[in-house]
């Protein structure tokens, strides 16, 4: 791996990590020490180590553990780190940072934003690694809590764990590759020493290509396609389809044999014409003609029986003009037809009835018939003693009696007027 500014790192812990990276030859890469990344607010944030590989970019925070740090070290993203036996932080922090993960998160976010503004494209994926360097002779284990995506804490007691992490990170081929041109552009914007003039940038570009960085994205895609094609076996050719069987020839239709006319004489029979054998697959005879019997050799054929004359067709019955509805009998139909009914009796309002004068009633009838024989009088008690018992009185002086006498004289009637004891006078 290429190293830039490796000789200016003062802490021994960082010097040890730079030596490990310089001896890493499994994957191509370039590492920079002591880089300041600009922020959007005009300031900058420091990254201990900045590493680029063809498929990854990482910011490494290197921290040395204190002498008293022993046993399990509790580390998580949103809590202060601690070790048993001491209340102080197990590592030295910068400013008001809560833990080393907060320290590495700042340069990671700054690098993502810086590259996106520089290339006018989406933000690249940048990993954050906290590498804890224990003191010699101490035993420390990591008790990791919940970690956000892209951030990892490793114990740097040997280079094997760092190499294993780089091996896993460098295999993310689904990310946008870091080409040699892109790395030179980013390092030039960061004002690295080897990018101060054009000649230095050309030499850095040549070193990156010799290290193994791709020169363009399309070349990386072609290499990936070649590797995937080599690892994937070619599919077996599909078997050729079996030829379709030839269709069987259609059987020849049997010749039509007309029956012998019925007018032929019995004395001179007309033999039937030659008949063709029916095809093997046909079992249905024509519906227009009778089946022809098979003739044996030497046998005399008898004339066919005469067909009866066709029955003349009867004309369809004429439709009646007035048709009884379907599903109804004559009784139901007659019951539905309107029948003449007698007029309803005149409506009479209940109340007191008044008797008309017989002469007036006769005038109203227009002399078309005799007046009624009985005239009902209004019921009213007539005072006076009864002369003919308890049920009859004399009404000769009563006004109604005078009207009745005139009526009797006019019609020649001599009916005896007898009324009950309680008689009603006209009102």
| DSSP output for 39-104 | -TTS-EEEEEEEEEETTEEEEEEEEEBPTT--EEEEE-SSS--B-TT-SS-SB---TT-SSHHHHH
pLDDT of residue 118: 92
Distances (CA, A) of 148 to 56, 75, 152, 334: 17, 12, 8, 97
Longest dimension (CA), the chain: 169
| Per-domain boundaries in the chain | 2-225, 375-427
Pairing assessment for the beta strands 56-64 and 127-133 based on DSSP bridges: parallel
> How far is the C-alpha of 277 from the C-alpha of 254, rounded, in Å?
7
User: Residue 17 belongs to what H/E stretch?
Assistant: helix 12-22
Q: How far is CA 346 from the centre of its chain?
A: 74
Give the torsion sign (CA, 271, 274, 280, 285).
negative
pTM: 0.52
pLDDT of residue 276: 44
DSSP string, 394-408: --TTSHHHHHHHHHH
pLDDT of residue 157: 85
Q: How do residues 318-375 score in pLDDT, each as one tens digit?
A: 665 555 445 454 544 444 455 555 666 665 555 555 555 555 555 555 555 555 555 5
pLDDT of residue 101: 92
pLDDT of residue 136: 80
pLDDT of residue 422: 45
For residues 233 and 220, the answer to whether their CB atoms sit within 8 Å is: no
Distances (CA, A) of 199 to 194, 195, 207: 9, 8, 12
- At residue 130, φ and ψ (nearest 5 deg) are -105, 115
> Tokens in use for 256?
């039509």
DSSP type of residue 6: G
Reduce the DSSP state of residue 155 to 3 states and report it: strand
Residues 6 or more apart from 415 whose CB is under 8 A from it?
A: 408
Give the torsion sign (CA, 351, 354, 360, 361).
positive
> How far is the C-alpha of 332 from the C-alpha of 340, rounded, in Å?
17
* pLDDT-flagged residues of the chain (< 70): 8-10, 217-306, 308-312, 315-398, 411-427
């Amino acid at each position: 791996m290429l190293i830039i500014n490796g000789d200016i790192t003062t802490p021994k812990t960082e010097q040890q990590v730079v030596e490990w990276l310089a001896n890493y030859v499994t994957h191509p890469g370039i590492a920079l020490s002591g880089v300041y990344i600009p922020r959007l607010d005009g300031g900058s944030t420091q990254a201990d180590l900045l590493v680029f590989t063809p498929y990854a970019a990482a910011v490494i925070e290197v921290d040395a553990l204190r002498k008293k740090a022993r046993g399990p070290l509790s580390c998580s993203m949103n809590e202060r780190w601690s070790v048993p036996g001491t209340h102080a932080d197990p590592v030295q922090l910068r400013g008001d940072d809560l833990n080393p993960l907060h320290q590495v998160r700042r340069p990671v976010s700054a690098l993502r934003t810086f590259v996106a503004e520089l290339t006018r494209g989406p933000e690249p994926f940048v990993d954050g690694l906290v590498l804890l360097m224990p003191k010699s002779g101490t035993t420390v284990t990591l008790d990791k809590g919940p970690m956000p995506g892209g951030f990892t804490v490793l114990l740097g007691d040997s280079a094997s764990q760092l190499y294993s992490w780089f091996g896993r990170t460098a295999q993310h081929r689904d990310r946008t590759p870091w080409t040699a041109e892109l790395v030179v552009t980013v390092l030039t914007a960061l004002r690295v020493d080897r990018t101060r003039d054009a000649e230095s940038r050309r030499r850095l570009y040549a070193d990156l290509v010799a290290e193994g960085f791709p020169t363009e994205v399309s070349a990386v895609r072609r290499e990936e396609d070649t590797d995937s094609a080599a690892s994937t076996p070619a599919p077996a050719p599909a078997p050729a389809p079996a030829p379709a069987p030839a269709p069987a020839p259609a059987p020849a239709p049997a010749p039509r044999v007309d029956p012998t006319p019925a007018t032929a004489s019995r004395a001179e029979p007309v033999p039937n014409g030659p008949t063709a054998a029916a095809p093997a697959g046909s079992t249905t005879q024509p519906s227009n003609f009778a089946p022809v019997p098979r003739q044996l050799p030497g046998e005399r054929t008898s004339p066919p029986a005469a067909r009866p004359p066709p029955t003349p067709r009867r004309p369809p019955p004429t439709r009646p003009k007035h048709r009884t509805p379907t599903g109804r009998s004559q009784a139901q139909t007659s019951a539905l037809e309107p029948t003449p009914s007698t007029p309803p009796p005149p409506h009479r309002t209940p109340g007191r009835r008044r008797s008309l004068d017989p002469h007036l009633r006769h005038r109203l009838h227009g002399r078309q018939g005799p007046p009624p024989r009985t005239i009902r009088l209004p019921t009213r008690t007539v005072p006076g003693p009864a002369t003919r018992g308890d049920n009859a009185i004399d009404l000769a002086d009563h006004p109604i009696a005078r009207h009745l006498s005139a009526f009797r004289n006019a019609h020649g009637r001599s009916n005896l007027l007898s009324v009950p004891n309680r008689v009603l006078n006209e009102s």
